[in-house]
Structure 1
């Protein structure tokens, strides 16, 4: 039975991915951060789902989970056909005032944790490669990895790093006929947008960025609430797993022309000016 390992399935995109895979008769092993989430999903999902507790920054726990996955795979002739790296966090703030620890925490989860999971489970993926369909690693990135905005530099940097890692790994794994695909979502409508911290609690308000931060947070939350439903990611992943030669990247975002394609063609300085005006980052003396 084709089995997929998905990290971070308790809510949002990860949960939708798990649901769509289960609907399409895949066996899903989903990781969560705590026992409460594991118990909830175990009761919610069918028997073709197993939940395991995993912190992707904990190397020992990753190895322990690998042993658990191997035991699950031995049951009913299952084999691992895909690793979907979805776990992630988003940190931000003006670089001038951010502690370097915030950058390290961001990369520990979004980048180094992803690499640790990939490396640990890669042998299982290679050894179970089932022709003619290639086994696949699917990394959940972000359009922020290509289209950066102010105040989210830890997050966008981690997703930019993932772009390079995905390309390099895909070419290395040609020798094993294992494919690597990057999903680049834009705003996705999940419950996280209803839990956004109150702007008044933002620790950077009493800096020169106060007005810009208020504008940024207002636009940021609005984009999220009107983003795509997370099921669109799950549906796309099911299609990818059923293809032998999918695209290397899938940009999934509302207003793709405006939010992704056009900014990629415009000169950087022009985009700087447009973003600067929108967020009032340009001093009056700098305006021309």
Structure 2
């Protein structure tokens, strides 16, 4: 049986992907931080879904989950893919962010991916003579290529993930393991529900008040009209089943305006456009 490991399946992209893969007959090992978060999908899919309980920052818990997977796999089971989906989004004006905010962001979105990926490499076939050649799918973001103001911790984590993925893909050619990056724009996910209230945020009494509120109106609120998670779930399933996938896939509304055009413009031109759009004005 084909088996897939997915981190962060309690909601959003992770939940939808796990659900779709189980429907297609895959066995899914899905990570949650609390066992109760796996109840809904476990009840629906029975033995096709196996919950793994760990926080991506907890290497001991990750190792215990790897041992569980090894014991649970039957002779004819193969881990065909690891989907690194767990993540958080933190932000705000750099001037007013603590180092702890950056540390937490990087511990989850980067170091957590490092820990999970390294732990599951052997099961994906990262040893000489292995007949299994799995895929590692990294859920990045358009913010890993296009950095908005007030998203420096998140952008830093996703830029790091993009670079690490390229390096890792080339290293793992030795074992035939591929690394594919998926870059979504705003997606229906609880990740955005944790953003501060734009009318009661920590920056009301700072120079950035007007600009941050404009950012909420134009960027964060856009996440309330997101891509359906089904688009990402189907795409991930297609990548797993594609023998020759691309190295990157971008999924966002207004792709030319929000992704392609910013990559074509000179940095200073893009700086001016973003500053104008978000009302970032030099103090006179």
- Change in Cα spacing, 1:192 to 1:90, as seen in structure 2 (3 Å) is closer
CA distance in 2, matches of 1:130, 1:2: 14
Structure 1: unaligned runs, 5 residues or longer: none
Deviations 1:142-168 (A, max 9, x none): 010110001110000000000110000
Residue 125 of structure 1 aligns with which residue?
Answer: 124
Could you give the per-residue CA deviations for residues 111-135 of structure 1, whole angstroms, max 9, x where no partner exists?
001011000110111169657xx41
1:81 aligns with 2:119: no
The TM-score with structure 1 as length reference comes to 0.93
User: Structure 2 vs 1, CA of residues 194 and 125 (structure 1 numbering), >3 Å: closer, same or farther?
Assistant: closer
Deviations 1:5-60 (A, max 9, x none): 00000000111111111122111010001121123332233421111111000111
TM-score norm. by structure 2 comes to: 0.94
Instruction: Please say if residues 56 and 62 of structure 1, whose CA atoms lie closer than 8 Å, have aligned partners that are also in contact.
Output: yes
- Residue 139 of structure 1 corresponds to which residue in structure 2? 138
Aligned twin of 1:27: 27
Within a 5 Å distance, the mapping from 1:233-272 to structure 2 comes to: 233-272=232-271
Partners of 1:242 and 1:248 lie apart in 2 by 14
Which residue of structure 2 aligns with residue 43 of structure 1? Answer: 43
Q: State how 1:59-70 maps to structure 2 within 5 Å.
A: 59-70=59-70
Contact 1:129 1:178 in 2 (8 A): no
Aligned partners of 1:20 and 1:246: how far apart in 2?
Answer: 19
Alignment partner, residue 225 of structure 2: 226
Q: Distance in 1 between matches of 2:80 and 2:242?
A: 12
Count of paired positions = 282
Provide the C-alpha distance between the structure 2 equivalents of 1:171 and 1:269, rounded to a whole number of angstroms. 33
Alignment partner, residue 280 of structure 1: 279
How far did 1:195 drift? 5.4
After TM superposition, give the deviation of residue 191 of structure 1 in Å. 4.6
Cα distance change on mapping 1:265 and 1:183 into 2, 3 Å: same
CA displacement, residues 65-95 of structure 1 (integer Å, 9 cap, x when unaligned): 1111112213x63221111000000111111
Spell out, residue by residue over 1:230-265, the C-alpha distance to the aligned partner (whole angstroms, 9 max, x if none): 111110111111111100000111111111001000
Alignment correspondent of 2:53: 53
CA contact under 8 A between 2:35 and 2:51: conserved in structure 1? no
User: Does the aligned pair in 1 maintain the 2:6–2:29 contact within 8 Å?
Assistant: yes
**What displacement does 1:179 show?**
0.5
Is the 1:190–1:225 contact (alpha carbons within 8 Å) kept by the matching residues of 2?
no
For 2:233 and 2:41, the matched residues in 1 are separated by 17
Name the counterpart of 1:71. Answer: 71
- CA-CA distance at 1:185 after TM superposition: 0.4
